[in-house]
Structure 1
Amino acid sequence: MAGSSVIVMGVCACGKSTVGEHLAKKLGRKFIDGDDLHPRANIQKMSSGQPLDDEDRKPWLERIRDAAYSLESKNEHGIIVCSALKKKYRDQIREGNHNVTFLFLDGNQELILERMRKRQGHFMKENMVKSQFETLERPDHEPQTLVINIDGEISDVVERAAAGLTQSQEVA
């Protein structure tokens, strides 16, 4: 059996890192936070309140794709956090990988802003939420993609995600 990866995706403050970490523990998978794979220039740009453009994202998405490839080639199973807001970003991650599932954490802008106001110590700024929603191309009808509603407690979201993955038979 080849390895696999689940890319936990969505806009900033939707709970990607928290859900991803809990989901990895629950399913016994490796956890990789995609924020840790950003090149220095991207972190500096976001820290100054500027959204990334497609050119900025290319090397980052390549690192995400390579992490998924590494898991697959080593017969490991992992959860990788990556916003993956546009279809072309998701397609770049899928390129050369055969066992990638996207888990879209779906919530409305009001809920995301509420959560953003509660966060501390993260480089994304509140004014970037609008930019993220403008960039988002919903993956509703893409193959190997699950849409998970983020209303409620994190534990509920994790349970919905685990159940969705199990139902889709993507959990190895």
Structure 2
Amino acid sequence: MIVVLMGVSGSGKSTIGKILAEQLGWTFVEADDYHPPANVEKMRRGQPLTDEDRRPWLHELRDRIDTACARGENVVLACSALKHAYQDYLERNEPACVQYVYLHGSEELIRQRLAARKGHFMNPKLLHSQFETLEPPADAIRVDIAPAPEVIAAEVKKKLGL
């Protein structure tokens, strides 16, 4: 199974993903690690990525998902997956293997978290554009990000039946 923790930057995908993967004994994959350097630099400058910018990134992620599904590897993937087109692309080859978990919260709460975050390339000025782009999957498990990360991870496990 591939659990894709999706949502805007600052929603806790990486933090929750690491906790969840550790608790389950699964592999944790950080989608940000798959961005080409040009994308990272563009985001650092506060420029939103285009669909064209995201194409090689999404291709690498889909390859990783397909490989994990073929091997029977359980993965927690922290990935924004903001648009339906991205979500559909990522699960196209293995739809039964992929489960989306939408980490949702208010723009104000996430803005506060981004302001406190250190060492991440994502420019907080891009947050509003991410909310404008966000298209959560209708069948995604929805989890509120207001509680502590450990509580959120427990809620995800409960809703997934793990």
Which TM-score tier does this pair reach, normalised by the shorter chain?
over 0.9
Match of 2:48 in 1: 51
In the TM superposition, what is the alpha-carbon distance from 1:162 to its structure 2 partner? 1.0
In the TM superposition, what is the alpha-carbon distance from 1:138 to its structure 2 partner? 2.5
In the TM superposition, what is the alpha-carbon distance from 1:60 to its structure 2 partner? 0.8
Match of 2:142 in 1: 147
Match of 2:130 in 1: 132
Deviations 1:47-99 (A, max 9, x none): 11111011111111111111111111111101111100000100000110130
1:158 corresponds to which of 125, 147, 153: 153
Return the structure number with greater helix share: 2
- The answer as to whether partners of 1:37 and 1:63 remain within 8 angstroms in 2 is yes
The equivalences for 1:3-152 within 5 A come to 4-97=1-94, 98-139=96-137, 141-142=138-139, 145-152=140-147
**Identity in percent:** 40
Q: Which runs of 5+ in 1 are unaligned?
A: none
TM-score using structure 2 length? 0.96
After TM superposition, the runs of 4+ consecutive aligned structure 1 residues lying more than 4 A away are none
For the aligned residue pairs, the C-alpha RMSD in angstroms reads: 1.0
- The answer as to whether partners of 1:64 and 1:82 remain within 8 angstroms in 2 is no
- Aligned partner letter, 1:18: T
d(CA) in 1 for partners of 2:77 and 2:52?
21
